[in-house]
Amino acid sequence: MATARIARIARKTSETDIAVEVNLDGTGVYAVSTGIGFLDHMIEQFSRHSLIDIACKINGDLHIDQHHTTEDSAIAIGQAIAEALGDKAGIGRYGMAYSPMDETLARVTLDISGRPWLVWNAAFSQPRLGEMDTELFQHWFHSIAHAVGITLHVELLYGENNHHIIEGIFKGFARAMRAAIERDARKAGAIPSTKGQLGG
């Protein structure tokens, strides 16, 4: 029987107090409370469509701004995913998803390579969605890519509605991650690299 891929992260700084738990082999169950409603909604979308169970509770310095809470949510979730992946034996490693949402089409491609990188080709026409600054979305993806160790390419192929754009991106990321973290029985537990390890 395969080992359960579950991890918990507790992270407390002068800016945020975070508790995160992930189950990579879940069903997309979530309990998310960051204090930023729109960020909650996006992390919930990520959980539901990746099938990664996510519990995430954050108390952050929102009286200052949303930056630290947004960044640290991605770092903590990413660290938990990385810990749950362990040596990454047997995973698919690569994932790609086209994500349509009404007039919008996003494409997300990734490699859980251990070499973090973000290519971001998306833009927004308004500064906020709900109470969340749209400039923070790119930073969230940068932070989670570095925490997990993902080479991540996010592209908005076309779209007009800002809500559709970011929701399409999060859902595409979720579907790509689902493919990349799934165990491939044909790999028989092998590290998916000719080097014998991922990263470096």
> Could you please report the per-residue DSSP string of 142-184?
HHHHHHHT-EEEEEEEE---HHHHHHHHHHHHHHHHHHHHSB-
Q: What's the pLDDT score for residue 135?
A: 96
Closest CA to 138 of 165, 178, 161: 165
Q: Provide the terminal-to-terminal Cα distance of the chain, rounded to the nearest Å.
A: 30
Q: What's the pLDDT score for residue 39?
A: 98
Q: What's the pLDDT score for residue 191?
A: 64
pLDDT interval class at 196 (50, 70, 90): low
Domains assigned to the chain: 6-187 (3.30.230.40)
Q: Which residue has the tokens 């308004």?
A: 126
Q: What's the pLDDT score for residue 184?
A: 83
Give the mean model confidence (pLDDT) for residues 64-85: 97
Q: What's the pLDDT score for residue 189?
A: 67
What is the value of pTM for the model shown? 0.93
- DSSP H or E segment with residue 85: helix 67-85
Percent of the chain with pLDDT over 90: 89
Q: What's the pLDDT score for residue 3?
A: 84
In the predicted structure, residue 147 carries a pLDDT above the cut 60: yes
**In angstroms, rounded to a whole number, what is the distance separating the alpha carbons of residues 191 and 195?**
9
Chain mean pLDDT for the chain = 94
